């Protein structure tokens, strides 16, 4: 699995895990996003999910933020789409205490 996919997945999972709850809908959103935007088949999406850390506190976000920022540097609409997706993940199961803070940190790191 290429690094950009993994980096997008780590950032997404950081948002999903920020409230320490993974709802079925959040998992479906993850699956749908990576299938649609990266044209991954269901097995590749499942593998990507499995490759990402399950403990938000142990995710090394800096390198993944850098990889996503670099990948989206010349594609502002794709950046907006990704941030909208992350925002939907925040609101999916109600705004958890840490979810919006995690989103805010990621957004600031990506767009400055």
Residues 6 or more apart whose Cβ sits within 8 Å of residue 102:
14, 15, 18, 56, 90
Domain boundaries defined on the chain: 3-111
pLDDT tens, per residue, the chain with 112 residues: 445 799 999 999 999 988 888 999 999 999 999 999 999 999 999 999 999 987 755 567 888 999 999 999 999 999 999 999 999 999 887 776 788 888 999 999 999 7
Q: Write the burial class of residue 78 (CB in 10 Å: 0-12 exposed, 13-18 middle, 19+ buried).
A: middle
Task: Give the global pTM.
Answer: 0.89
């Amino acid at each position: 699995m290429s690094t950009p996919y993994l980096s997008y997945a780590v950032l997404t999972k950081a948002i999903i895990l920020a409230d320490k709850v993974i709802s079925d809908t959040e998992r479906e959103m993850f699956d749908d996003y990576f299938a649609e935007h990266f044209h991954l088949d269901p097995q590749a999406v499942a593998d990507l999910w499995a490759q990402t850390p399950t403990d938000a506190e142990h995710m090394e976000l800096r390198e993944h933020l850098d990889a996503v920022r670099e990948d989206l540097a010349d594609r502002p609409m794709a950046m907006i789409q990704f941030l909208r997706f992350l925002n939907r993940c925040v609101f999916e199961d109600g705004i958890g205490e840490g979810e919006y803070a995690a989103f805010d940190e990621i957004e600031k790191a990506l767009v400055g």
